[in-house]
Structure 1
Amino acid sequence: MEQLVEQYKQGYPKILKELEGLTEEQLLFKPSEKSWSIREIIIHVSDAELVHIHRMKAVLSEDNPILTAFDQDLWTTRLNSQQVDHQLYLQLFKSMRESFLPILHHLTEQDYLRIGTHTQAGQLTFKEILEHSIEHIDIHIRQIRRIKNLF
Protein backbone atom coordinates (compact mmCIF):
# COMPACT_ATOMS: atom_id res chain seq x y z
CA MET A 1 0.00 0.00 0.00
CA GLU A 2 3.00 2.29 0.49
CA GLN A 3 3.48 2.34 -3.27
CA LEU A 4 -0.07 3.64 -3.76
CA VAL A 5 0.49 6.35 -1.17
CA GLU A 6 3.71 7.42 -2.90
CA GLN A 7 1.97 7.51 -6.30
CA TYR A 8 -0.80 9.63 -4.78
CA LYS A 9 1.80 11.98 -3.29
CA GLN A 10 3.47 12.45 -6.69
CA GLY A 11 0.29 13.66 -8.43
CA TYR A 12 0.88 17.35 -7.78
CA PRO A 13 4.56 17.46 -8.83
CA LYS A 14 3.71 15.54 -12.02
CA ILE A 15 1.05 18.08 -12.99
CA LEU A 16 3.28 21.01 -12.12
CA LYS A 17 6.04 19.63 -14.34
CA GLU A 18 3.67 19.44 -17.32
CA LEU A 19 2.72 23.10 -16.91
CA GLU A 20 6.27 24.47 -16.81
CA GLY A 21 6.81 27.26 -19.29
CA LEU A 22 3.29 27.32 -20.72
CA THR A 23 1.99 30.67 -21.94
CA GLU A 24 -1.50 32.00 -21.31
CA GLU A 25 -2.29 31.30 -24.96
CA GLN A 26 -1.26 27.67 -24.56
CA LEU A 27 -3.30 27.31 -21.37
CA LEU A 28 -6.42 28.59 -23.14
CA PHE A 29 -5.97 26.72 -26.44
CA LYS A 30 -8.74 24.25 -27.30
CA PRO A 31 -8.04 21.69 -30.02
CA SER A 32 -11.74 21.69 -30.93
CA GLU A 33 -14.99 23.27 -29.79
CA LYS A 34 -15.87 20.26 -27.63
CA SER A 35 -12.35 19.82 -26.19
CA TRP A 36 -11.08 21.20 -22.92
CA SER A 37 -8.19 23.61 -22.65
CA ILE A 38 -5.25 22.90 -20.35
CA ARG A 39 -6.70 25.46 -17.93
CA GLU A 40 -10.03 23.61 -17.91
CA ILE A 41 -8.21 20.33 -17.34
CA ILE A 42 -6.45 21.77 -14.30
CA ILE A 43 -9.73 23.05 -12.86
CA HIS A 44 -11.32 19.66 -13.54
CA VAL A 45 -8.48 17.77 -11.85
CA SER A 46 -8.98 19.87 -8.73
CA ASP A 47 -12.77 19.46 -8.84
CA ALA A 48 -12.37 15.70 -9.26
CA GLU A 49 -9.94 15.56 -6.34
CA LEU A 50 -12.55 17.21 -4.15
CA VAL A 51 -15.02 14.51 -5.18
CA HIS A 52 -12.48 11.69 -4.75
CA ILE A 53 -11.52 12.82 -1.26
CA HIS A 54 -15.17 13.10 -0.30
CA ARG A 55 -15.75 9.56 -1.52
CA MET A 56 -12.68 8.18 0.23
CA LYS A 57 -13.56 9.86 3.52
CA ALA A 58 -17.13 8.60 3.27
CA VAL A 59 -15.98 5.02 2.62
CA LEU A 60 -13.52 5.16 5.52
CA SER A 61 -16.04 6.69 7.92
CA GLU A 62 -19.46 5.33 6.97
CA ASP A 63 -20.90 1.89 6.34
CA ASN A 64 -21.35 1.40 2.59
CA PRO A 65 -22.11 5.04 1.74
CA ILE A 66 -23.73 6.12 -1.52
CA LEU A 67 -21.13 7.75 -3.78
CA THR A 68 -22.73 10.07 -6.28
CA ALA A 69 -21.50 10.73 -9.80
CA PHE A 70 -20.96 14.22 -11.15
CA ASP A 71 -21.16 15.57 -14.69
CA GLN A 72 -17.65 16.78 -15.38
CA ASP A 73 -18.60 18.50 -18.63
CA LEU A 74 -21.37 20.51 -16.99
CA TRP A 75 -19.07 21.48 -14.12
CA THR A 76 -16.53 22.70 -16.68
CA THR A 77 -18.91 24.66 -18.89
CA ARG A 78 -21.48 25.99 -16.42
CA LEU A 79 -18.86 27.03 -13.90
CA ASN A 80 -16.83 28.84 -16.61
CA SER A 81 -13.59 26.99 -15.95
CA GLN A 82 -11.90 28.74 -18.88
CA GLN A 83 -12.19 32.03 -16.94
CA VAL A 84 -11.04 30.75 -13.53
CA ASP A 85 -7.59 31.25 -11.99
CA HIS A 86 -5.96 27.86 -12.53
CA GLN A 87 -3.13 28.73 -10.13
CA LEU A 88 -5.63 28.94 -7.30
CA TYR A 89 -6.97 25.53 -8.26
CA LEU A 90 -3.45 24.08 -8.45
CA GLN A 91 -2.88 25.24 -4.88
CA LEU A 92 -6.22 23.76 -3.86
CA PHE A 93 -5.26 20.44 -5.46
CA LYS A 94 -1.89 20.49 -3.69
CA SER A 95 -3.53 21.28 -0.34
CA MET A 96 -6.13 18.55 -0.73
CA ARG A 97 -3.49 15.95 -1.56
CA GLU A 98 -1.21 17.03 1.27
CA SER A 99 -4.07 17.10 3.78
CA PHE A 100 -5.13 13.56 2.89
CA LEU A 101 -1.66 12.02 3.10
CA PRO A 102 -1.63 11.69 6.93
CA ILE A 103 -4.89 9.73 6.69
CA LEU A 104 -3.41 7.41 4.06
CA HIS A 105 -0.32 6.79 6.19
CA HIS A 106 -2.43 5.43 9.06
CA LEU A 107 -4.74 3.07 7.18
CA THR A 108 -4.89 -0.65 7.79
CA GLU A 109 -5.31 -3.43 5.23
CA GLN A 110 -8.96 -3.65 6.33
CA ASP A 111 -9.47 0.05 5.56
CA TYR A 112 -8.45 -0.57 1.95
CA LEU A 113 -11.22 -3.18 1.69
CA ARG A 114 -14.04 -0.92 2.95
CA ILE A 115 -16.75 -0.30 0.35
CA GLY A 116 -19.12 2.31 -0.92
CA THR A 117 -21.74 2.09 -3.63
CA HIS A 118 -21.27 4.42 -6.58
CA THR A 119 -24.49 5.49 -8.33
CA GLN A 120 -23.07 4.42 -11.72
CA ALA A 121 -20.16 2.04 -11.09
CA GLY A 122 -21.68 -0.01 -8.27
CA GLN A 123 -19.64 -1.21 -5.30
CA LEU A 124 -16.12 0.16 -5.01
CA THR A 125 -13.47 -0.48 -2.41
CA PHE A 126 -11.46 2.30 -0.85
CA LYS A 127 -8.43 0.92 -2.71
CA GLU A 128 -10.24 1.16 -6.05
CA ILE A 129 -11.23 4.77 -5.38
CA LEU A 130 -7.65 5.65 -4.42
CA GLU A 131 -6.31 3.90 -7.53
CA HIS A 132 -8.79 5.82 -9.68
CA SER A 133 -7.66 9.10 -8.11
CA ILE A 134 -4.05 8.24 -8.99
CA GLU A 135 -4.87 7.09 -12.55
CA HIS A 136 -7.02 10.16 -13.11
CA ILE A 137 -3.94 12.38 -12.91
CA ASP A 138 -2.04 10.27 -15.45
CA ILE A 139 -4.98 10.35 -17.86
CA HIS A 140 -5.08 14.13 -17.76
CA ILE A 141 -1.30 14.50 -18.01
CA ARG A 142 -1.48 12.55 -21.27
CA GLN A 143 -4.33 14.84 -22.37
CA ILE A 144 -2.23 17.92 -21.56
CA ARG A 145 0.69 16.50 -23.56
CA ARG A 146 -1.55 15.91 -26.59
CA ILE A 147 -2.77 19.51 -26.44
CA LYS A 148 0.77 20.85 -26.08
CA ASN A 149 1.78 18.85 -29.17
CA LEU A 150 -1.07 20.37 -31.19
CA PHE A 151 -0.23 23.96 -30.27
Structure 2
Amino acid sequence: MEHLRFPIGHFHAPEMIIPSDIEQWIEDIEKFPMLLTEELIGLSQEQLEWSYRPDGWSIRQLTHHCADSHMNSFIRFKLALTEDKPVIKPYEEALWAKLPDNESDVTESLFILKGLHARWVQLLKNLSYKDLDREFVHPENGQTVSVAENIGIYAWHGKHHLEHIRLAKGFKGDMAKALEIL
Protein backbone atom coordinates (compact mmCIF):
# COMPACT_ATOMS: atom_id res chain seq x y z
CA MET A 1 0.00 0.00 0.00
CA GLU A 2 2.96 2.32 0.62
CA HIS A 3 3.72 2.37 -3.13
CA LEU A 4 0.20 3.61 -3.87
CA ARG A 5 0.26 6.08 -0.99
CA PHE A 6 3.63 7.56 -2.05
CA PRO A 7 3.95 6.64 -5.74
CA ILE A 8 6.83 9.07 -6.33
CA GLY A 9 8.41 8.39 -2.94
CA HIS A 10 8.79 10.75 -0.01
CA PHE A 11 10.32 14.20 -0.33
CA HIS A 12 14.00 14.30 0.58
CA ALA A 13 15.68 17.70 0.55
CA PRO A 14 19.20 17.73 -0.82
CA GLU A 15 21.91 18.28 1.81
CA MET A 16 22.67 21.60 0.19
CA ILE A 17 19.87 23.36 -1.68
CA ILE A 18 21.36 25.25 -4.62
CA PRO A 19 19.83 27.96 -6.85
CA SER A 20 19.03 25.50 -9.64
CA ASP A 21 16.98 23.42 -7.15
CA ILE A 22 14.99 26.51 -6.18
CA GLU A 23 14.46 27.49 -9.82
CA GLN A 24 13.22 24.02 -10.76
CA TRP A 25 10.94 23.81 -7.75
CA ILE A 26 9.42 27.23 -8.48
CA GLU A 27 8.85 26.14 -12.07
CA ASP A 28 7.11 22.98 -10.79
CA ILE A 29 4.89 25.08 -8.51
CA GLU A 30 4.13 27.46 -11.38
CA LYS A 31 3.08 24.62 -13.72
CA PHE A 32 1.00 22.71 -11.19
CA PRO A 33 -2.42 24.36 -11.79
CA MET A 34 -2.09 23.83 -15.56
CA LEU A 35 -0.99 20.19 -15.16
CA LEU A 36 -3.81 19.51 -12.72
CA THR A 37 -6.34 21.09 -15.07
CA GLU A 38 -5.06 18.93 -17.93
CA GLU A 39 -5.55 15.79 -15.81
CA LEU A 40 -9.13 16.77 -14.97
CA ILE A 41 -10.32 17.83 -18.43
CA GLY A 42 -13.15 15.65 -19.65
CA LEU A 43 -13.67 13.69 -16.43
CA SER A 44 -17.29 12.98 -15.55
CA GLN A 45 -18.73 13.42 -12.08
CA GLU A 46 -18.50 9.63 -11.69
CA GLN A 47 -14.83 9.59 -12.72
CA LEU A 48 -14.03 12.36 -10.21
CA GLU A 49 -15.02 9.83 -7.52
CA TRP A 50 -12.35 7.33 -8.59
CA SER A 51 -9.58 6.72 -6.08
CA TYR A 52 -5.93 5.73 -6.44
CA ARG A 53 -6.02 3.15 -3.64
CA PRO A 54 -8.51 1.45 -1.33
CA ASP A 55 -9.61 3.98 1.32
CA GLY A 56 -7.74 6.72 -0.56
CA TRP A 57 -9.12 10.09 -1.52
CA SER A 58 -11.09 10.50 -4.72
CA ILE A 59 -9.85 12.68 -7.56
CA ARG A 60 -12.36 15.30 -6.39
CA GLN A 61 -11.02 15.19 -2.82
CA LEU A 62 -7.41 15.32 -4.04
CA THR A 63 -8.17 18.43 -6.08
CA HIS A 64 -9.85 20.21 -3.17
CA HIS A 65 -7.08 19.03 -0.82
CA CYS A 66 -4.46 20.66 -3.04
CA ALA A 67 -6.31 23.97 -2.82
CA ASP A 68 -6.57 23.66 0.97
CA SER A 69 -2.98 22.56 1.43
CA HIS A 70 -1.48 25.14 -0.91
CA MET A 71 -3.46 27.97 0.72
CA ASN A 72 -2.09 26.88 4.08
CA SER A 73 1.42 26.67 2.67
CA PHE A 74 1.23 30.15 1.12
CA ILE A 75 0.29 31.55 4.52
CA ARG A 76 3.16 29.63 6.14
CA PHE A 77 5.58 31.20 3.66
CA LYS A 78 4.26 34.66 4.50
CA LEU A 79 4.53 33.98 8.22
CA ALA A 80 8.11 32.75 7.84
CA LEU A 81 9.02 35.81 5.78
CA THR A 82 7.49 38.32 8.19
CA GLU A 83 7.96 36.81 11.66
CA ASP A 84 10.90 35.38 13.54
CA LYS A 85 10.65 31.58 13.30
CA PRO A 86 6.86 31.41 13.76
CA VAL A 87 5.10 28.30 14.97
CA ILE A 88 2.63 27.51 12.20
CA LYS A 89 -0.90 26.21 12.66
CA PRO A 90 -1.36 22.60 11.52
CA TYR A 91 -4.73 21.39 10.30
CA GLU A 92 -6.47 18.02 10.16
CA GLU A 93 -6.31 17.43 6.41
CA ALA A 94 -8.17 14.11 6.59
CA LEU A 95 -11.07 15.81 8.37
CA TRP A 96 -10.99 18.77 5.98
CA ALA A 97 -11.35 16.29 3.10
CA LYS A 98 -14.68 15.15 4.57
CA LEU A 99 -16.22 18.63 4.86
CA PRO A 100 -19.19 19.44 2.58
CA ASP A 101 -17.24 21.88 0.39
CA ASN A 102 -15.25 18.90 -0.88
CA GLU A 103 -18.35 17.76 -2.74
CA SER A 104 -18.34 20.93 -4.85
CA ASP A 105 -17.24 21.30 -8.45
CA VAL A 106 -13.47 20.89 -8.85
CA THR A 107 -13.44 24.00 -11.04
CA GLU A 108 -13.76 26.08 -7.88
CA SER A 109 -10.51 24.68 -6.50
CA LEU A 110 -8.84 25.05 -9.90
CA PHE A 111 -9.71 28.77 -9.82
CA ILE A 112 -8.22 29.03 -6.34
CA LEU A 113 -5.06 27.22 -7.38
CA LYS A 114 -4.57 29.28 -10.53
CA GLY A 115 -4.76 32.59 -8.67
CA LEU A 116 -2.91 31.36 -5.62
CA HIS A 117 -0.02 29.89 -7.60
CA ALA A 118 0.33 33.08 -9.66
CA ARG A 119 0.79 35.10 -6.46
CA TRP A 120 2.92 32.40 -4.84
CA VAL A 121 5.30 32.21 -7.79
CA GLN A 122 5.62 35.99 -7.88
CA LEU A 123 6.58 35.89 -4.21
CA LEU A 124 9.00 32.99 -4.63
CA LYS A 125 10.76 34.47 -7.67
CA ASN A 126 11.52 37.61 -5.68
CA LEU A 127 13.04 36.02 -2.57
CA SER A 128 16.58 36.85 -1.55
CA TYR A 129 19.09 34.27 -0.34
CA LYS A 130 18.45 35.60 3.16
CA ASP A 131 14.70 35.04 2.70
CA LEU A 132 15.33 31.43 1.65
CA ASP A 133 17.02 30.80 5.00
CA ARG A 134 14.07 32.04 7.05
CA GLU A 135 12.24 29.29 8.94
CA PHE A 136 9.03 28.25 10.59
CA VAL A 137 8.40 25.59 13.22
CA HIS A 138 5.88 22.80 12.73
CA PRO A 139 4.38 22.11 16.19
CA GLU A 140 3.36 18.49 15.53
CA ASN A 141 6.98 17.35 15.36
CA GLY A 142 8.93 20.42 16.45
CA GLN A 143 10.72 20.38 13.08
CA THR A 144 12.17 23.63 11.78
CA VAL A 145 11.57 24.08 8.04
CA SER A 146 13.35 26.68 5.91
CA VAL A 147 11.60 28.62 3.19
CA ALA A 148 13.97 26.97 0.68
CA GLU A 149 13.08 23.47 1.86
CA ASN A 150 9.36 24.26 1.87
CA ILE A 151 9.57 25.31 -1.78
CA GLY A 152 10.86 21.81 -2.49
CA ILE A 153 8.20 20.19 -0.34
CA TYR A 154 5.42 21.89 -2.27
CA ALA A 155 6.96 21.20 -5.67
CA TRP A 156 6.97 17.55 -4.57
CA HIS A 157 3.44 17.82 -3.12
CA GLY A 158 1.96 18.81 -6.46
CA LYS A 159 3.74 15.99 -8.31
CA HIS A 160 2.72 13.54 -5.57
CA HIS A 161 -0.99 14.27 -6.01
CA LEU A 162 -0.80 14.49 -9.80
CA GLU A 163 0.49 10.92 -9.72
CA HIS A 164 -2.39 9.90 -7.42
CA ILE A 165 -4.81 11.30 -9.98
CA ARG A 166 -3.04 9.51 -12.84
CA LEU A 167 -3.22 6.24 -10.89
CA ALA A 168 -6.92 6.74 -10.16
CA LYS A 169 -7.59 7.38 -13.84
CA GLY A 170 -5.61 4.27 -14.76
CA PHE A 171 -7.53 2.09 -12.32
CA LYS A 172 -10.86 3.53 -13.55
CA GLY A 173 -12.48 2.93 -10.19
CA ASP A 174 -11.42 -0.72 -10.09
CA MET A 175 -9.65 -1.20 -6.75
CA ALA A 176 -8.84 -4.79 -7.69
CA LYS A 177 -6.42 -3.31 -10.26
CA ALA A 178 -4.86 -1.20 -7.51
CA LEU A 179 -4.41 -4.24 -5.31
CA GLU A 180 -2.75 -6.16 -8.17
CA ILE A 181 0.27 -3.84 -8.18
CA LEU A 182 0.92 -4.23 -4.48
Q: Would the TM-score normalized by the shorter structure come out above 0.5?
A: yes
TM, length-normalised to structure 2:
0.77
**Root-mean-square deviation (Å):** 1.6
Q: Paired residue for 1:35?
A: 56
Q: Paired residue for 1:75?
A: 96
Q: Paired residue for 1:102?
A: 122
Q: Within 5 Å, give how 1:10-29 maps onto structure 2.
A: 10-29=31-50
Q: Which blocks of at least 5 consecutive residues in structure 1 are unaligned? A: none
More helix by share: 1
Q: Paired residue for 2:29?
A: 8
Q: Does 51-60 or 3-12 show the bigger shift?
A: 3-12
Deviation at 1:32, TM superposition (A): 6.4
CA distance in 2, matches of 1:136, 1:81: 21
TM, length-normalised to structure 1:
0.91
Q: Which blocks of at least 5 consecutive residues in structure 2 are unaligned? A: 1-21, 173-182
Indicate the SS of the match to 1:66: coil
Contact 2:53 2:168 in 1 (8 A): no
Deviation at 1:31, TM superposition (A): 6.0
Q: Does 25-34 or 67-76 show the bigger shift?
A: 25-34
Aligned length: 150
Deviation at 1:30, TM superposition (A): 3.9
Q: Paired residue for 1:92?
A: 112
Structure-2 change in CA distance of 1:82 and 1:52 (3 Å):
closer
Structure number with greater Rg is 2
Indicate the SS of the match to 2:137: strand
Q: What is the aligned-residue identity percentage?
A: 26
